[in-house]
């Protein structure tokens, strides 16, 4: 009975872990338009276009190193805003005009990967260390940067445009009175 109970607890933990990750992905997809999984992704068309780009020696590899932002701080400091940091190889993204586009990527060998940082709770208060400033409060704000990405256009051809990508959660001081 003890072994089966342990097995059941492990399965429950794995289920929670999997649903938490998929919920985070779904939230990121809905909120920021950066989706790393798309049902009915046109894999064959995309792989053909990637092959064409590579054969023309087009620089398409947007790879990132596994950057640890928190490594800039020593052991005695902490983050001002709680954030989630991850590397994403999107299959779909929302461009600067608000149009969802299919991104050229290969699950097995991602071509366009981005380091993203998202606020766990946007517009929440920053770390309590900022409470000493009179008439100011710290608020966590989501920051984005524009990144070029290759995408599949309406004619099933390669196009390139800019997409806002969430980069970090920043603490902004707001004056109140």
Q: What is the spatial distance between Cα 112 and Cα 165, in angstroms, rounded to a whole number?
A: 12
Between residues 159 and 130, the one the model is more confident about: 159
Which tens digit of pLDDT belongs to each residue from 7-26? 433 333 333 333 334 455 56
Q: What is the mean pLDDT of residues 148-152?
A: 95
pLDDT of residue 141: 92
Higher confidence at residue 140 or residue 123?
A: 140
Mean pLDDT of 52-66: 68
Whether the per-residue pLDDT at 53 is higher than 70: the answer is: yes
pTM of the model: 0.73
End-to-end CA distance of the chain: 62
Percentage of residues in the chain with pLDDT exceeding 70?
Answer: 71
Q: Which residue has the higher pLDDT, 66 or 57?
A: 57
d(CA 140, CA 84): 13
Q: What's the pLDDT score for residue 123?
A: 75
- Which distant-in-sequence residues (6+ apart) come within 8 Å of 170 by Cβ? 81, 140, 141, 142, 143
For all residues of the chain together, what is the average pLDDT?
A: 78
């Amino acid at each position: 009975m003890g072994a089966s109970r342990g097995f059941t607890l492990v399965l429950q933990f794995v289920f929670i872990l999997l649903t938490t990750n998929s919920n985070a992905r779904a939230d990121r997809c809905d909120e920021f338009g950066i989706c790393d999984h798309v049902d009915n992704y046109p894999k064959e068309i995309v792989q053909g276009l990637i092959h064409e780009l590579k054969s023309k020696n087009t620089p398409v590899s947007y790879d990132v190193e596994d950057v640890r932002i928190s490594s800039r701080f020593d052991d005695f400091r902490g983050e001002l805003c709680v954030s989630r940091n991850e590397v994403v190889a999107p299959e779909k993204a929302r461009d600067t005009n608000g149009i969802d586009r299919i991104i050229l990527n290969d699950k097995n060998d991602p071509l366009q990967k981005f380091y993203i940082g998202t606020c766990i709770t946007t517009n929440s208060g920053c770390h309590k260390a900022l409470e000493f400033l009179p008439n100011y409060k710290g608020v966590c704000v989501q920051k984005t940067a524009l990144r070029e990405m290759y995408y599949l256009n309406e004619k099933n051809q390669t196009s390139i445009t800019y997409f806002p990508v969430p980069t970090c959660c920043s603490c902004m001081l707001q004056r109140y009175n």
